């Protein structure tokens, strides 16, 4: 029997800035960890995709890069809804929130959220994403 193919490493990026989406997907492509990178320009779009695929563990994202400050639904509202997702989904998906500010309230809110793996300051750096991938055992 041939060995099973490794589960693809899926990255979901949610950010209202098209510039940040391009930069962050480029960084993710550069480190060659993710077999698929999906970008969403709003928290609603990202949530819709995740909800539609809750019954399909093969495409659970290994990592979600989530901007905090977005119009309509910010990263914190996204996380409130994410908290209601099934535990098996949250167990395999790690959320990294991104912020361009040093707002102490945001930092405190992120630190107190059990579903957030880490908070990173924008702009995302190659070394930061590589370190997270290593920590999550996504890199060889």
DSSP string, the chain: -PPPPPPP-EEEEE-S-HHHHHHHHHHHHHTT--SEEEEESSHHHHHHHHHHTTT-GGG--SEEEEES--SSS-HHHHHHHHTTS-HHHHHH-EEEEEESS--HHHHHHHHT-TTEEEEEESSP-HHHHHHHHHHTT---
Instruction: Inform me whether the pLDDT recorded for 123 exceeds 80.
Output: yes
Q: Which of 2-6, 61-65, 130-134 has the lowest mean pLDDT?
A: 2-6
Q: Is residue 108 part of a domain?
A: yes
Whole domain around residue 91: which residue ranges? Answer: 10-135
Residue 62, domain member (yes or no): yes
Q: Which residues neighbour 120 within 8 Å (Cβ) at sequence distance 6 or greater?
A: 96, 97, 98, 99, 128
Lowest pLDDT segment from 4-8, 45-49, 84-88, 123-127: 4-8
In a domain, 5, yes or no: no
Kindly indicate the confidence band of residue 97, based on its pLDDT and cuts at 50, 70 and 90: very high
The model's pTM = 0.91
In a domain, 26, yes or no: yes
What CATH number does the domain containing 104 carry? Answer: 3.40.50.2300
Residue 11 to residue 128: CA distance in whole angstroms: 15
pLDDT cut 70: percent of the chain above it: 93
Instruction: Decide if 111 is inside a domain.
Output: yes
Quick one: average pLDDT of 54-63? Answer: 92
Confidence of residue 21 (pLDDT cuts 50, 70, 90): very high
CA dihedral 66, 73, 111, 129 (to 10 degrees): 10
User: For residue 131, is it within any domain?
Assistant: yes
- In this structure, what token pair is assigned to residue 96? 């990294």
**Residue 1 belongs to some domain of the structure:** no
């Amino acid at each position: 029997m041939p060995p099973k193919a490794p589960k693809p490493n899926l990255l979901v990026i949610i950010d209202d800035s098209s510039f940040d989406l391009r930069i962050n997907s480029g960084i993710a492509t550069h480190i060659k960890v993710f077999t698929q990178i999906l970008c969403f320009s709003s928290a609603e779009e990202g949530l819709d995709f995740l909800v539609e695929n809750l019954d399909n563990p093969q495409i659970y994202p290994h990592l979600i890069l989530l901007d905090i400050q977005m119009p309509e639904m910010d990263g914190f509202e996204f996380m409130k809804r994410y908290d209601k997702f099934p535990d098996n989904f949250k167990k395999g998906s790690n959320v990294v929130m991104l912020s361009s500010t040093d707002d102490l309230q945001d930092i405190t809110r992120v630190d107190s959220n059990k579903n957030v793996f880490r908070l990173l300051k924008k702009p995302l750096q190659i070394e930061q994403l590589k370190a997270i991938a290593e920590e999550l055992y996504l890199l060889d």
